[in-house]
Chain A
């Protein structure tokens, strides 16, 4: 669906079903340089199971227009604005990587808008490798390689996709290659500069589920412990063998975990 907001015309994928009044809503927020297509399977699942779904393309990502938001809080504001435009009063907020920080900020700063929170591949503060930032600043393909291959467990770099016939690394490369110049750098810088994650976590009042990858080297499980401890009502689900790209590596296990919190 197209959403006219002050941040520009934003696109939200609804799981191939129109929103119905009276249904609970799930809002998905993607990671650096990505878009709603990373959420297609769970979006279709929840849409068929009686939820309204909004898998949002953040400003300047995917099919959304507007200028990119340069801070995590500004991205969260865009999500809240998109929800208001779509007449969504509150939702289960689900975010991956950078999107998890956006969901965290939204849940902390707009507590009445968050029914529950799922933070996938998350940590705060979220360090960003200096080479990654350097390549991103130069719009060098090296940053896309790093985000892609560091985003998968070593085993998943050899494939074995649960979704038959698709090459996971290839899909991620192509998706990131579609990002406009400078967008990945803006996203990575926003992650690096987001220094209020722990205080935001302390402000989160809704039930929260962390879904982490056992083999994640970008947001390792151990690095998330402070953030996990800061949230009041929290559960943790570690998906065995998975790297950072949990939606691609373990789509079914991820969906099962989401069902428990959404």
Chain B
């Protein structure tokens, strides 16, 4: 807590990173839909390429609209800088590829978004980066899995699909005791519900497709640097502490200090891998972020109403939400997520896979699709969609029961959601 008055979260959600456009006076963030920027002179061009002057060269690297979004998320997370990417997956990859190379190792929570799990389990090993997956509730397991090759610890604020609340303070302590950074996927919580840097994390990434934008019309990601990890003292990150031949022998720690990681990610990663965000997408994410605090409050109140309804419904076997006293992480959630535990949760329907399919086919207001974090309520039955090839035993191993339904609660009138869920639940019990 700052000892002096600073701008609050709601104000930063609206204003951070943007001033009225100096060229036109536009109050809204203009969409600078341009690939490149005219140099004032050959020397001006050289000074931009050599990191002597501030400015833009090419929109894959930086763009004025995208830069507003990057500053805004940095401000809301309490970091030093950010990079907007083409998707959340691209953000995850950019962060890993900036720090790790062939032979390096990650210790990760095993409760992950499927796309992230695929990247770590199947794709990165082709490039020589291996991952050990551990129980997110077992801090000791993170420590035990660390090897001399480990370069990163990773987890999600709320695991998928069990909503395990990651003990970020404890796991960051383990990471820092081994001179390693902790990276967090904070998509489900957004900085409104959880600020992982304040809890000890070093890098955050988001799928901006979800709650940050909230409208479900874009695909985007963000990687944010806390600026707090001491890369030089760690001695394990030559990409940041040794001259980089790919950018005039730039030494990122020596030259950019707290912003070393995010600067390398831009000078190398977004330049070479190229998974940048378009300016129009950045504008659309910004429109959503302006109302992030208001939307998240409504997501939480609606979710609490739905959880309460389901918990006492006769067709429901169980509800998994960390605010419920029977959730294994209830106490930790009260400590780390006092404003709420997000708007994505699961429940089990009586009658297994068939009942789940009947339920899904009867919802009318909720949308059956593979996404979360929309302003509209969404629902999916993993056993008949994303995990349909798995039998009951394989599903159980993945922490998914045949009757598991995942909800992403939106901003509709809660009574309307309850009514729709109620009629679909009743229908699900009729064979």
Where the two chains meet, the residues of A that have a C-beta atom closer than 8 Å to any C-beta of B are 13, 16, 35, 37, 40-42, 44-45, 48, 62-63, 131, 135, 140-142, 145-146, 149-150, 155, 157-167, 169-171, 174-175, 177-178, 251-252, 255
Contacts and interface: CB of A to CB of B under 8 A. Distances in A.
A159 B6 contact: no
B51 A159 contact: no
Nearest to B61: A164
A159 B54 contact: no
Contact of A174 (B3, B75, B227, B249): B227
A142 B4 contact: yes
A161 B4 CA distance: 22
A158 B19 contact: yes
B7 A157 contact: yes
Interface in B317-363: none
A166 B63 CA distance: 12
Nearest to B230: A178
Nearest to B257: A37
Interface string B55-79: 1100000111011101110110011
Nearest to B248: A16
B79 to A, nearest CB: 5
A57 B72 CA distance: 31
Interface string B9-37: 00110011111000000000000000000
Contacts of A167: 16-17, 71, 74-75, 79-82
A62 B262 CA distance: 20
B51 A166 contact: no
Nearest to B5: A149
A167 to B, nearest CB: 4
Nearest to B229: A174
Given A37-B256, A40-B256, A174-B80, A164 B64 contact: yes
Contact of A159 (B17, B228, B259): B17
B54 A155 contact: no
Given A16-B249, A158-B7, A164-B62, A255 B80 contact: no
B71 A161 contact: yes
Nearest to B270: A165
A48 B46 contact: yes
Contacts of A166: 70-71, 74, 80-81, 259, 262
B53 A252 contact: yes
Nearest to B75: A167
Contacts of B67: 161, 164-165
Interface size class of B (residues with CB under 8 A): 35 or more
Contacts of B63: 164
B12 to A, nearest CB: 7
B255 A162 contact: no
B207 to A, nearest CB: 19
Given A16-B249, A251-B54, A165 B4 contact: no
A176 B146 CA distance: 31
Nearest to B247: A16
**8 tightest Cβ-Cβ pairs between the two chains A and B:** A142-B3, A174-B258, A167-B74, A162-B54, A174-B227, A37-B257, A45-B52, A164-B67
A15 to B, nearest CB: 9
B266 interface: yes
B262 A155 contact: no
B250 interface: yes
29 contacts: A35-B257, A37-B257, A41-B52, A41-B53, A45-B50, A48-B52, A131-B3, A140-B3, A142-B2, A142-B4, A145-B2, A157-B6, A158-B7, A158-B12, A158-B16, A159-B68, A160-B17, A161-B67, A164-B70, A166-B70, A166-B259, A166-B262, A167-B74, A167-B82, A170-B74, A170-B79, A170-B81, A174-B228, A255-B53
Given A45-B47, A165-B83, A166-B81, A175 B256 contact: no
A13 B15 CA distance: 35
